[in-house]
Amino acid sequence: MYYENTPPLETERLILRKFTEHDIDDMLLLYGDEEVNKFLPWFPMKTRGDVLNYFYNSIYPVYEKDIAYSYAISQKLDDRVIGYVHVNDIGDSNDMGYALRKEYWHKGITSEACAAVADRLRKAGFPYITATHDINNPYSGEVMKKVGMAYRYSYRELWQPKGIYVTFRMYQLNLDGNSERVYQKYWDKYDVHYIENIV
């Protein structure tokens, strides 16, 4: 695996790049929407100040690391931010997360962006990536399938900061051809875990 920090990527319709302070107003539309953030591990942000705080305390420090993949999704048409895709817990779960403003849902944008990031991770030498989704958010699981991920298992955890029990489905894409590898950490960590018959 070689070192790189959020190298810019392009797809047919999109530019994937680092967030900047110029994106704050667009980020508020994304991070402040209750429906968009319903299944995400934080409460919607209410003000521009909330987003600025998140940018400088959570996103900006990532861009100072040797290895990072934290992308703003923007359209080539105007370079306005409409979503994000990032990979967390690098070196362990390599967990991919994503969100998109709801007016752009169901257009294949998220899967297009995630596929580009997955391809970059493959070229960088990552052996695998994972992703999880709330069972009540099946559309997120469809994105994972379109990227080529396979369902591995489900587990239940007490989700913070929202303080609710959530059952997640864990998907995985092995980028190095090792089809037998299964990331076991969530299975081992949570007492409630099982394999569903996912079509």
In angstroms, what CA-CA distances link 173 with 69, 86, 158? Answer: 17, 15, 25
pLDDT, tens digit (0-9, with 9 covering 90-100), for 32-88: 999 999 998 888 999 999 999 999 999 999 999 999 999 999 999 999 999 999 999
CATH code of 19's domain = 3.40.630.30
85 CB-near residues (< 8 Å, 6+ apart) = 16, 71, 73, 96, 97, 98, 110, 113, 114, 117
Peptide bond into 61 cis (omega under 30): no
| Residue 36 maps to a domain | yes
* CB distance 83 to 101 below 8 Å: yes
Q: Is residue 169 part of a domain?
A: yes
Structural domain range at position 75: 9-194
- Asked if the structure places residue 1 within a domain, the reply is no
Beta strands in 23-68 (DSSP E): none
- The total domain count for the chain is 1
Q: Is residue 179 domain-resident?
A: yes
User: Does any domain span residue 4?
Assistant: no
Would the pTM of this model clear 0.75, i.e. be above it?
yes
